[in-house]
Each structure stands twice: as structure tokens, then as C-alpha cells.
Amino acid sequence: MGLFEKLFQSKKENDNMANVNLAVIYYSSTGTNYQMAKWAEEGAKAAGAEVKVLKIPELAPKEAIEANEAWAKHLEETKDVPEVTLDDLEWADGIVFSVPTRYGNPASQFRQFIDTTGGLWSSGKLVNKVVSAMSSAANPHGGQEATILSIYTSMFHWGAIVAAPGYTDPVQFKAGGNPYGVSTTAGENGIQDDIEDAVRHQAQRTVSIAEGVKVGVNV
């Protein structure tokens, strides 16, 4: 537990604190980032947050999806997961994004959604949202860090507060030591199972910071 979390936990034990609304927003073609989103949901709920897991709408043409069996299967399996809306961003105190990399950048489905947030941005409704991000790629150096940093660049324009995990817990090292956000290599053998604890920690850290912001904790 980091310094902020220790200070905040001490205050929380003595105060009636409002619950944090956390939106876990993901895009996933074959399931990796969906699984990461579910782990984040579990971690955030354990921290006392009200959580919504929301998917970014699929934009790829039907022909491309049907040509990839795993993609088509995952799309069918998650058909009942609600799609994110701008209202969800306004509702949220904190946000955890989980997005795969495409050529070292976030998937275009994510970028398209972010490009619809101009109305909220211009009215100041995205200011002080506490945001953290995670990513995946098919190989260990496929652009995961660049993808996360690109997401954070957009968040700076929002006026959001970035809640990177840093090295605030030893689980970060077990998961590969990415201080910007949990990242994973998802190949033929599936997702790394050693990132689960780090994902949970990142979500819990996001909740802690969002709760501190929400109640005006000064550290």
C-alpha cells in the first residue's frame, strides 16, 4: 500500500465516505482486454466502488470479423455487455481503460469513441476524472507502453488526473514492471495469468485516488 492509500485509509476509517463510481471501459477483439476489465471490476468492487463494465462499440466490417474465428466467437459471447455512452463518462468519478495496441497506438475503435467526447470536454464535465489505462499486444515489445501513454495524452486534454500504478505494490514486478499501467502479451497461449493481481491493484489504486478527489482529501 502506497503513502496516499495509507493516508486515505486512515481517514476513511473515521469518516462516512461517498462511494466512487468507476467505469471500466474496454475494447477487445478476442477477449484479452475483456478479461483484464473483469479483473479490474473485481478489484474495484473489493475496494467498495460502484462499477460498470462497458465495451467500446465494434467498428470493424463484418467480413473481417467473420474471417477470424476467435474474434467472431468473442463478439457473440459478449453481445450482452452494455456499450459505453457519454452518459457513463459523466457518471464516473474514475475510469479504467483497457485497450489493445495497434501499430503502437490504441485500437481505432477506442480513438473513435474518444473523438465523440468533445461536448463533455467543452462543458468541463471531464475535468478531474481519475483515469488509469491498461493494454495488450501479441508480443512483449509490441507497443503496450506507447499505447497507454497515448491514452494519457488525451486524458491531459480532458483535465483528468492520471492514476498510473507506478511501483506502488510488488505485484507490479511480477506482472512485468510497467509503471504506466498493466500490460500483457497475449499470444497463442492466451493471456498471462501473472497480471491478475496487478490489474486488481491498479483498479483499487484508481478507486482510492478517485475517492480522495471526490471528498477533497489534501495530500
- 3-class DSSP string for 98-120: EEEEECCEECHHHHHHHCCCHHH
- Portion of the chain with pLDDT greater than 70, in percent: 88
Query: CATH homologous superfamily of domain 3-9+16-215?
Result: Flavodoxin domain (3.40.50.360)
Contacts of 50 (CB under 8 A, 6+ apart): 19, 20, 21, 22
pLDDT at position 11: 46
Residue 187 predicted with pLDDT over 80: no
- SS3 category, 23: strand
Cα gap 198→175, rounded to integer Å: 6
pLDDT of residue 2: 52
pTM for the model: 0.89
